[in-house]
Each structure stands twice: as structure tokens, then as C-alpha cells.
Structure 1
Amino acid sequence: MLKSGKEAAETIGETVFRRIRQDIISGALPPGSKIRLEQTKERYSVSVSTLREILSRLTTENLVIAEGQRGFEVSPASRRELLELADLRILLESHAIGLSFATGDLDWEARIVAAHHKLSAIERQLLEGDASRTVDWVRYDWEFHQALVSACNSETLMATLSSVFDRFLRYHLLAESFRGKPVVDDHRRLFELAMKRDVGGAQDILTRHVRNGTEHVLKSGRIR
């Protein structure tokens, strides 16, 4: 079935939105860089009007700043925002863990098992020095944390947590280094505690996990 012109434009817009958003999170579009409309529309093969709509959407996630008549800029990275995102992630994910552990069924447990299996396989390769798997680790890290809270039965909570997680992740990618065995151990403990439905234990590990990750980013010297 052929798509109408409007539906095709919406599909292109969504695809480009995801590409630009991912480029901001990965650092391909660096913090504080100007987004020049003419150059950017060529880079992503999209019209200026669609590009403006996409950038306006990204301002609602604080990934882009609108500068009035001067256009748009990738949101800068700062120590203050990193600490705020860490607090917000702990708050949201801890609440979602409580809800999810209380209602999760066998399918929920299976999602966690599968997600942790993939994550731990990538982490073993990273520990062996294969830095090329960092991009895969980023994806599987989110899939594991998402699986833990996937039975919270709140689409709004999941969407908000996803946005905060990505903004927090941007700082880790800017640090350009894998945290090593401590993060692997945290994920293993979270997996074990999820299987036991130990809400308090999982929330404690998560808090330590996020705090230590924040310290790791700050010690990299790449965030002021």
C-alpha cells in the first residue's frame, strides 16, 4: 500500500529526528555546537521546515537550545546538569523498580534474563579490550535497565526515564571510556536481585551504580 505524501514526510521526519537525537547523544554533534540550518539540512537530506520542527522537538528534551533569531545550538554539557540528571534517574528508576518487581511475571523475568545475557556477553569483550563493542554496549545497557522496569505499567514513567537515561548517557559517551569490572558487577547484582524481587537491594545497587558512573565521568576531566 502506497503512503500519502503527508505520511511519507512524517516517516522521513521521524527518521531524521532519531538520527539527529542519536548524533547529539553520541557526541557526533558536540555540546555547544551551532546547528546551521543550511548545512544541517544537507547533512540529513531534509527540508528546512522539517528540520526546524525536529530541532524544536529536541528543545523539549533539553538536547537543543533555541537561540531566537540566531537559530539552534546543541545543549552544552555541564557538571550541574550531570548531577541533576543522576538524581532524577535514581528517583525515576528506583520508583519504576518498585512497581516492576511487584507486578513482573514470567515473561518479565525472561526479558531480564535475555537482556542481561546479551549485556554480559558484550561486557566480557570490552573487558578483554575490544573497544569496538562500545556502541553495542550502550544499546544493551539500556535494554537491560529497561527490562528491569518494563513491568511498571506506566508508559509515561517509561518515556520520561528513557529521555533522562539518554541525556545521562551522553555524558558517559563524552567521557570516552568504559568503567570496567565495577559496572559489570553492578549489572550482575541487579540481575540477581531482580530474580529475588529484592526491591530495596536493587534500589541500593542502582543508586551506587549511578553515583559511581557520575564520578567516573567527572574524573575524566571532559566535563566542566
Structure 2
Amino acid sequence: MAKKTVKPDLLAAPPENEAGQSVSESVFHKLREDIILGILPPGSKIKLEQARQRYSVSVSSLREILYRLTAENLVIAEGQRGFEVSPVSRQELMELADLRIVLECHAIDLSFAAGDLEWEGRIVAAHHKLAAIERRLLAGDTARTIDWVRADWEFHQAIVSACNSATLMQSLSSVFDRFLRYHMLAESFRGRAVVDDHKMLFDIALRKDAGAAKDIVEQHVKSGAQHILQRQGFLSAK
């Protein structure tokens, strides 16, 4: 039986327009993406009437969607005062970095043990796409940043895609996206260092060297967090 891969919420395409629930799911993905990409900034109030018009959805469906986002700590429900986008802080950034390392390293152990030829093919294809976008970014094409965001996750997802645990993949996806929000708010691509990390991780993954891969991931995530902290004007002191 072929192993299933799990798409992250940020990147998953909305369901086919089937009525009702499809529209709600599409709005859920769009609103979630707007938070992660910083289009809806941390601490901003989500006014139901304005959001209803912006996302073309009923107020009741919008409330349901916002409560779903509270489960991921992307939105705060303030009782009678409504909803706001969750704030960011240095403490949460470091907690997310630590949690991502734990989840991704565990997934690497499982995935490298079970990975087959199809798994290798997914890694090769994902890195080929990521490397092409990174070359353009290094050349100054900042318009490709959103494409890079998607390709970055697709590459990391491909590496752990043979872990055969939907729960683990969903948890990693959520943490990855919340960590990514900080990168988007910092408004900076880390440049050659992150490209080199990805190339090393690619080579190591094809050798199935789990220990070396986990070392790269830990260094990669911690360096990303430190890069964000160097551009911490948007972070609170908490």
C-alpha cells in the first residue's frame, strides 16, 4: 500500500466547490494564510463585518473558522470583545523552534527507516524546485518569496513524508507554519546560508544518514530563529 502524505494547511488547495462546507474550508485556508504571511498582523482586531465582506462568508461561518484558528494559537477569542490575531513574542519563537526540532527530528528517524525509491523521488523533485527558486532569490528576485515559502515546506515535508504518521505530519505542519509566521514578519530571506543548509540536507537524506540530518535540521532551525531575533523590532519583550 502506498504511503500517504499529508498536506499542510498553509499550502493545501481548498476542496472542490461542492457547496457550503467547501466555501467555509476555502475561507479557513485563506484566513489562516493571511495570518501566517503577516497580511493580518499580530494583535490586529478581526472585525466580523469587515472580515465577512473581505472573505465573502457568513458571520456564523466566520465565527466557526476563527474558533478553529484559536486551537492553533493563531487567533485569540476575547469573549464579548471579539477576536484578534495572536501576538508574537521572543518566548514563543524559541518554543516553536524547540518544538519544530523535536517533531522534525523524530519524523526523520521514522522516515529514513521506511523511505523507499518513491520517497527518494519526492525529495529529488522537491529540492530541484526549491533550488531553482532560491537561485532566483539570490539573484535579487524578491517577488519569488511566497513561492519559496511553499517550496521550503514541500522540501522539508518530502524528507519526512515516509514517517507514515498523519498525526505527526499534521503537528509538524502546524508548528512549521507558526514558526514561518515569524520569518514572514521579519521580512528577510537568509540567503546563501539557508541554501547551503538545504543542499546538505538533500545530500544527507539520500544517504539516509539520520544522525547527520537531525544535526543539520537543529542547526538550520536555530540559525533561523537567531536571524529573526536580529531583526526583532516586531517582537515584544515577552
Specify the TM-score bucket, using the shorter chain as the normaliser: over 0.9
Say yes or no: does 1:64 pair with 2:84.
no
1:143 to 150, 154, 175: 154
Say yes or no: does 1:176 pair with 2:177.
no
Say yes or no: does 1:18 pair with 2:20.
no
Say yes or no: does 1:134 pair with 2:145.
yes
What's 1:223 paired with?
Answer: 235
Code of the aligned partner of 2:155: F
C-alpha contact 1:217 1:223 (8 A) present in aligned 2: no
2:121 to 94, 98, 110: 110
Code of the aligned partner of 1:148: I
Tell me how far apart the structure 1 counterparts of residues 214 and 110 of structure 2 sit (CA, whole Å).
12
2:197 to 186, 195, 199: 186
Code of the aligned partner of 2:153: W
C-alpha contact 1:119 1:137 (8 A) present in aligned 2: yes
TM-score normalised per structure 1: 0.96
What's 2:211 paired with?
Answer: 200
Tell me how far apart the structure 1 counterparts of residues 229 and 78 of structure 2 sit (CA, whole Å).
28
Tell me how far apart the structure 2 counterparts of residues 175 and 200 of structure 1 sit (CA, whole Å).
30
Structure 2: runs of 5+ lacking an equivalent? 1-17
Displacement of 1:223 in angstroms is 1.9
Higher helix share: 1
TM-score normalised per structure 2: 0.91
Aligned length, in residue pairs: 218
Tell me how far apart the structure 2 counterparts of residues 45 and 16 of structure 1 sit (CA, whole Å).
8
Structure 1: runs of 5+ lacking an equivalent? 1-6
RMSD: 0.6
Tell me how far apart the structure 1 counterparts of residues 20 and 82 of structure 2 sit (CA, whole Å).
23
1:89 to 57, 79, 100: 100
Code of the aligned partner of 1:24: I
Tell me how far apart the structure 2 counterparts of residues 223 and 179 of structure 1 sit (CA, whole Å).
18
Displacement of 1:9 in angstroms is 1.0
Tell me how far apart the structure 2 counterparts of residues 49 and 146 of structure 1 sit (CA, whole Å).
34
Code of the aligned partner of 2:29: R
What's 1:78 paired with?
Answer: 89
1:125 to 130, 136, 139: 136
What's 2:6 paired with?
Answer: none
Code of the aligned partner of 2:217: L
Displacement of 1:173 in angstroms is 0.2
Displacement of 1:47 in angstroms is 0.4
Code of the aligned partner of 2:124: V
Tell me how far apart the structure 2 counterparts of residues 184 and 47 of structure 1 sit (CA, whole Å).
43
Say yes or no: does 1:33 pair with 2:41.
no
What's 1:163 paired with?
Answer: 174
Among all aligned residue pairs of Structure 1 and Structure 2, give the percentage whose two residues are the same amino acid: 70
Displacement of 1:40 in angstroms is 0.6
SS in 2 for 1:8: coil
